[in-house]
């Protein structure tokens, strides 16, 4: 018998997901004709938390480019994150490097895999004390983000001059986990396990 208070899906059921994104071909003259998207994650944690993430994409299939033909494709992830009465929309939270090919079939399967667990959050500039001064600018990366409710949407674009190009298919994935997963109900050591692990964690141990 299931003794958990909420006998449904685990609370992290939507924290990780993999989907196939079909990307119709755009001509180079109109590269924003088709911009397909798909929802990947929906986090409803009911408390503020700091999160780590992992994004990936790999080509399942794509049209072959002939002599003198070329193509490129890219994937990016959009997020909505909110706490309390505030919500922030970040259209290009994470953009993967993408792929380019010409004159031959693109690299497929695992060889095409792109992934990251950090994103660019800005830039930092340093000035030296020497004369003349030297200016250095480098990206600032982060692997953490805050949120209570988070939605992730994957986007893609495929541009080519291959005549009659069929859509390409890309496997997109996103996974999220709390940076520190400590819940106050776990400390109800005198209570029933269903009270300590109300989200079904007993079975997930």
**Domain map (residue ranges) of the chain:** 24-182
Weakest-pLDDT range from 24-33, 53-62, 193-202: 193-202
pLDDT value of position 78: 98
Q: Which of 82-96, 118-132, 166-180 has the lowest mean pLDDT?
A: 118-132
pLDDT band at residue 98 using 50, 70 and 90 as cut-offs: very high
CA dist., res. 5 & res. 138, Å (int): 49
Report how far residue 72's alpha carbon sits from residue 75's, in angstroms, rounded to the nearest whole number: 11
- Characterize 123-140 residue by residue with b for buried, 16 or more Cβ atoms within 10 angstroms of its Cβ, and e for exposed: eeeeeeeeeeeeeeeeee
Cα separation, 175 vs 52, in Å, equals 8
Name the token pair of 16.
């990780």
Closest CA to 160 of 98, 101, 105, 76: 101
Cα-based distances in Å from 143 to 82, 178, 183: 18, 12, 22
On the CB side of 177, CA atoms within 13 Å amount to: 7
pLDDT at 201 over 60: no
Task: Name beta bridge partners: 172.
Answer: 19, 57
- The DSSP secondary-structure symbol of 204 reads H
Residues 6+ apart with CB under 8 A from 30: none
> For residue 10, how far is the Cα from the chain centroid?
21
The pLDDT assigned to 105 comes to 80
Residue 1 has pLDDT above 50, yes or no: no
Contact 174, 152 (CB under 8 A): yes
Mean pLDDT of 162-188: 87
The dihedrals phi and psi of 187, each to the nearest 5 degrees, come to -90, 5
């Amino acid at each position: 018998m299931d003794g958990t208070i909420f006998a449904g899906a685990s609370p992290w059921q939507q924290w990780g997901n993999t989907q196939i994104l079909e990307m119709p071909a755009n001509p180079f003259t109109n590269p924003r004709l088709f911009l397909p998207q798909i929802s990947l994650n929906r986090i409803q944690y009911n408390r503020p938390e700091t999160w780590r993430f992992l994004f990936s994409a790999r080509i399942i299939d794509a049209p072959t480019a002939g002599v003198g033909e070329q193509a490129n494709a890219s994937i990016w992830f959009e997020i909505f994150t909110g706490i309390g009465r505030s919500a922030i929309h970040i259209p290009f939270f994470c953009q993967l490097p993408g792929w380019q090919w010409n004159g031959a079939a693109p690299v497929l399967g695992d060889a095409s895999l792109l992934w990251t667990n950090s994103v660019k959050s800005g830039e930092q500039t340093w000035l030296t004390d020497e004369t003349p001064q030297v200016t250095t600018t480098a990206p600032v990366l982060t692997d953490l983000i805050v949120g209570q409710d988070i939605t992730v949407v994957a986007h893609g674009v495929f541009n080519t001059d291959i005549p009659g190009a069929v859509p390409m298919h890309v496997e997109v994935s996103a996974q999220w986990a709390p940076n520190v997963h400590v819940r106050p109900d776990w400390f109800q050591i005198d209570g029933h396990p269903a009270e300590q692990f109300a989200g079904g964690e007993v079975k997930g141990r």
